[in-house]
Amino acid sequence: MAEEWRLLDTGLNDAFYNMALDEAIATARSRRLVPNTIRLYRWMPSAVSIGYFQSMEEEVDIEACDEMGIDYVRRRTGGGAVYHDTNGELTYSIVVDEDHRLVSEDFLETYRKLCSGIVLGLRMLGIPAEFKPINDIVVHGKKISGNAQTRRMHVILQHGTILRRVDPELMFRVLKVPSEKIRDKMIRTVKERVTSIRDVLGRDVSFEELKEAIIRGFEESFKIKLIRGDITEFEEELAQRLKDEIYSRKEWNFKR
Amino acid sequence: MGKATYKVKEGKLIKVNLTLNEGRIEEIKIMGDFFLHPEETIEDIERTLRGCILNEERICNLIRNALSREGAVLLGASPEDFARCIVMAGEKDG
């Protein structure tokens, strides 16, 4: 019988809750309160997340975000700034024990293994996706998914995005450019280096279709069975607390 | 304050902001889209660099020591890359 993991589809939430819930699930797993888990989610309102080591002021155009009603949050994980459009992308997270067969001491190898579910899911949609070290998934050399991982309390948390469609102009209204002079150049660069499901297939894939493919991708690639479940009371309470005390606070979001 | 940005070949982007006081690092922030596990090690590295003179090799050694003390893993950049960017930022201070 295949190993069973929990599947969560938490739908639309704000940036602070989204980051808080990923951490809450990892904490719950470290205390053996929940099984290994894959979560699918989206961002409402649209939001920018920055990597743990980035500076909010240097990466994000705060004023533009405030004007457009776009949230901004610091992640627990490293990596770069990401614009999470409500309708433009699907986000996933994986919470798995450090001693699981999919996890090795080598971070690159673990990225490769954990990204393989997304790679296979995208291939099922007819997208020739490939893992590209360190932490990207690309199609014809262009990035379609970025991923980031952290290890705490003997649990791995990896989250990442899958681009359904991409809008480089909007991306650079919310992300800072070093100078106005090179804004157009940066937009061109993104167009050359980033792609989306719509760009590759020439059609929109619905969130339902995308989720089904990603779920099957994870099941086949990880050799697991995903069982739909709900977040526990422990996770919900902890997520609310982490949102209130950390992720929605200036002290966290502007700490670097 | 001195600021520098350094793109690691085949790797990530490092940004450093620092201030010097009589040739020694007074305040420093190492930023970027690299990965460092555990993440909090960055604060240890910054602490350990305060008071250090702007010598690339010495800075690099301090970073290496901080990493091994924590059993930390740096991805997408090396201690040498950090040290390079720190010296670049230091040369721009003042």
Whether A121 contacts B49, CB under 8 Å: no
Please report the pLDDT score of residue B10 as a whole number: 86
Q: What is the mean predicted confidence (pLDDT) over B24-42? A: 97
Please report the pLDDT score of residue B18 as a whole number: 96
The residue among A98 and A192 whose pLDDT is bigger is: A98
Please report the pLDDT score of residue A7 as a whole number: 98
Dist CA A48 CA A106 (whole Å): 29
Of the candidates A52, A54, A134, the beta carbon closest to that of B76 is on A134
The boundaries of the domain holding residue A244 are 3-253
Which residues in B lie closer than 8 A to residue A256 (C-beta atoms)?
A: 29, 31
| Bridge-based pairing state of the strands A71-74 and A47-50 | parallel
Q: With CB atoms and an 8 Å threshold, state whether B33 touches A134.
A: no
CA distances from B90 to A165, A204, B21, B42, B87 (A): 41, 49, 10, 18, 5
Q: What is the mean predicted confidence (pLDDT) over A147-151? A: 97
**Tens digit of each residue's pLDDT (9 = 90 or more) over A48-97:** 999 999 999 999 999 999 999 999 999 999 999 999 999 999 999 999 99
- A25 confidence band (pLDDT: 50, 70, 90): very high
Q: With CB atoms and an 8 Å threshold, state whether B33 touches A53.
A: yes
Q: With CB atoms and an 8 Å threshold, state whether B33 touches A256.
A: no
Cα dihedral value A143, A147, A148, A153, nearest 10: -170
- In B, minimum Cα distance to A79 occurs at B33
Please report the pLDDT score of residue B94 as a whole number: 64
Q: What is the mean predicted confidence (pLDDT) over A221-243? A: 98
Give how far B18 is from chain A: nearest CA, Å: 13
Of the candidates A54, A77, A107, the beta carbon closest to that of B73 is on A107
- A188 confidence band (pLDDT: 50, 70, 90): confident
pLDDT reading at B51 higher than 80: yes
Q: A154 in contact with B at a CB cutoff of 8 Å?
A: no
- B82 confidence band (pLDDT: 50, 70, 90): very high
- In B, minimum Cα distance to A51 occurs at B33
Give how far A43 is from chain B: nearest CA, Å: 22
Q: With CB atoms and an 8 Å threshold, state whether A78 touches B38.
A: no
Dist CA A214 CA A231 (whole Å): 20
Please report the pLDDT score of residue A232 as a whole number: 98
The 8-class DSSP code of residue A13 comes to E
Residue of A19, A23, A52, A53 to mutate, interface with B, max B Cβ within 10 Å:
A53
Whether A245 contacts A22, CB under 8 Å: no
pTM, full prediction: 0.95
Average pLDDT over chain A, rounded to an integer: 96
Please report the pLDDT score of residue A182 as a whole number: 81
Domains of chain B and any CATH numbers: 2-92 (3.30.390.50)
Strand partners, A104: none
How many domains is chain A partitioned into structurally?
Answer: 1
- A100 confidence band (pLDDT: 50, 70, 90): very high
Strand partners, A71: A47
What CATH code is carried by the domain that includes residue A232?
A: 3.30.930.10
Give how far A208 is from chain B: nearest CA, Å: 31
State whether residue A179 is helix, strand or coil.
coil
Question: What is the ipTM metric for this complex?
Answer: 0.95
Give how far A94 is from chain B: nearest CA, Å: 17
pLDDT reading at B56 higher than 70: yes
Dist CA B13 CA A11 (whole Å): 33
- A183 confidence band (pLDDT: 50, 70, 90): confident
pLDDT reading at A181 higher than 90: no
- In B, minimum Cα distance to A105 occurs at B73
- A180 confidence band (pLDDT: 50, 70, 90): confident
Hey, how many other C-beta atoms are within 10 angstroms of the C-beta on A44? 16
Percent of chain A with pLDDT over 90: 91
